[in-house]
A and B are shown apart, each in its own frame.
Chain A
Amino acid sequence: MVEELEKTAKKCRRLIVDMIHKAGAGHPGGSLSAIDIIVGLYETQMNVDPNNSEDENRDRFVMSKGHASPAVYSILKEKNFLTQNDLDGFRKLGSVCQGHVDMKWTNGVDFSAGSLGMGLSFGIGCALSAKMDGKSFQTWVMIGDGETQEGQIWEALMAANYHKLGNLHLIVDRNRIQNDDFVDVQMEIGDIATKINSFGWNVKEIDGHDMAEIIDALNWSKETKGPCAIVAHTVKGKGVSFMENNPSFHGKAPNNEELRKAMEELS
């Protein structure tokens, strides 16, 4: 199982790098850091069906760090929500694959992101709705570590615990790089796990590229009472050596030569 998922993740990495290259723009770094967790989530937790994508009982995935849209589009292709043709249109006029994930445009996307700090609040709305209606669907939210600099994240962390939302799950992609530079250069966020825990959440820290750990943590989150957060320590650009831990690949497309090298490494 772990091995299968790792293969899927590698396939998704190739899709990510390829679609960003074709678009000539996009965010490879944060897509590659998040993809192992996203694959683990869709392959072991998410109850979704491309033929019934609006099912009110489906699990929700709220991708708050919406610039990492290629990661979402790659798994949606694997799950038959999108086609290769859709991915080839990434960032092009009229494409269902908008620059940032957008529920209005893309089958299988549950949230319109692009402005950081909003997704956890949206997830609270979904989780509250399920609770009011006695529905058992789960809401999974992924945010970036730089995103925790937004004050709204802390409003939401406070509210989720107050409303005892055990059906809400947060994943922090702790890749340590944001738009301009390293997170600790731009605005030190420190021990994010302890901070979230102090807001009343259960928190688990994992290696966000270890598929076995990812699967365990997702199960733990689902089985644990009250809101749970997984702080996933990741490497920005993971899987492509020259993108790894390199702030310049936060929001830059690979050129032809870089694409060739990346695909070689991901083969």
Chain B
Amino acid sequence: MSAPSSGGASRDGYGAALLDLAVDERVVVLEADLGKSTKSCHFRAEYPERTVSLGIAEQNMVLVSAGLASCGKIPFASTFAIFSERAFEQVRNGVARPGLVAHFCGSHGGTHTGTDGSSAQSIEDLAIYRTIPGMTVMHPSDDISTRELTKQLLKHDFPSYTRTARNKTPRLYDDESVRKLKIGKGSILREGSDIAIFSCGVMVHKALLAAELISKEGIEVTVVDMHTIKPLDFELIDRLSKDVKGFVTVEDHSVIGGLGSAISEYVSSKNPIKVIKIGVEDKFGESGESEELLDIMGLTIERIAESCREI
């Protein structure tokens, strides 16, 4: 048994949030042999009587969550993002369709997951869960925003999927700014009048760095942490689409179906504006360090800056 790693990755925020939520007796935690990875292990250590071990059996875990939810519990179930996809139909038919409220967390999302290789690098999770009616889909950017948004799920009336990242990323919020976050509302981290970048997860920090870089060239960029992919913050998109010349979307996820797609789908019929989508270009990853993977996938500060210049 390896010890759980210390703070700094968004998955650590999930683990911390579960402990915060434990004061509510209705909260139960479900694991499929990856609690040390998704960080539900901390809840297990404190509240074993409210932690349900299901073994390596994700489909069963999803429907056990549904059964618990039907009896008044608030289940939080986690596994790797990629393995949650195995139980997609269970989430669709067993949880969302009957209108049950259970919360799923997929850790180790995206190519940022790194050395485990392509089998572990979910690049389609946000896309698939987004298609389920009534489902909330989130991908927070750092540990403390993950903690805050996960805590808000306690009073959330819809089932949810939250993707977290395996590896550490810089903190983008502090104790005060994080309290302003709200599920379904994009968070503006930087304001500029020329271009708006919408990003989620591990790429938000890179979007900020790209904005700093081209600010020196006289291009001013708004950067939005779009931690909630569904429901999408239409109000914010409407406002920005009137203010700026174009959008750039940035995500460690397939360009098919994720944040970039969600925004494009909306603005194309509402207030057409150029959208350049940066994401994984319809291909699988491989083993490597996080930064190496992001580089070969083209998820770089330079490419974000270049896309802004293009607009």
Question: B94, A128: Cβ atoms under 8 Å?
Answer: no
Q: Contact string, B34-70, partner A, CB cutoff 8 A, digits 1/0?
A: 0000000000000001101111010111111111111
Answer yes or no: A253 CB below 8 A from chain B CBs: no
The residues of B that contact A56 with a CB separation of less than 8 Å are 71-72
Q: Which residues of A contact B62 (CB under 8 A)?
A: 121
A129 touches B93 (CB 8 A): no
The docked-state distance in angstroms from the alpha carbon of A151 to that of B73 is 26
Can you list, as one digit per residue, whether each of B97-125 has a CB less than 8 Å from chain A (1) or not (0)?
Answer: 11100000000000000000000000000
Q: Does B28 sit within 8 A of A, measured CB to CB? A: yes
Residues of B near A125 (CB, < 8 A) are 63-71, 73, 75
B94 x A112 contact (CB < 8 A): yes
Flag if A112 contacts B71 (CB, 8 Å). Answer: no
Contact of B71 with A121 in the complex, beta carbons under 8 Å = no
- The minimal Cβ–Cβ distance linking B54 to chain A, given in whole angstroms, is 6
Q: Select the residue from B50, B60, B72 with max chain A CB neighbours within 10 A.
A: B60
Judge whether B93 and A112 touch: CB under 8 Å: yes
Q: Which parts of A108-140 form the interface with B (CB within 8 Å)?
A: 110-112, 114-115, 117-119, 121-130, 132-133
Which A residues lie within 8 Å of B68 (CB)? 125-126, 128-129
Count chain A residues whose beta carbon lies closer than 8 angstroms to a beta carbon of B.
33
Q: Which residues of B contact A118 (CB under 8 A)?
A: 59, 63, 90, 93-94
Q: Which residues of A contact B49 (CB under 8 A)?
A: 132
CB-CB under 8 A from A124, the residues of chain B are 60, 63-64, 67
Contact: B28 with A152, CB < 8 Å?
Answer: no
> Any chain B CB within 8 A of the CB of A104?
yes
Given contacts A121-B67, A123-B67, contact A159 B54 (CB under 8 A): yes
Known: A155-B59, A158-B55. A104 touches B71 (CB 8 A): no
Name B74-93 residues within 8 Å CB distance of A.
Answer: 75, 89-90, 93
Residues of B within 8 A of A112 (CB): 93-94, 97-98
Least CB separation from A135: chain B residue: B71
Q: Which residues of B contact A102 (CB under 8 A)?
A: 97-98
Least distance between A128 CB and chain B CB atoms (Å): 6
Using A118-B63, A152-B63, A163-B52 as known contacts, say yes or no to A130 and B71 having CB atoms under 8 A apart.
yes
Given contact pairs A121-B67, A121-B94, a sample of 8 additional A-B residue pairs in the complex whose CB atoms are under 8 Å apart = A111-B98, A112-B97, A119-B63, A122-B94, A125-B67, A125-B70, A129-B71, A132-B49
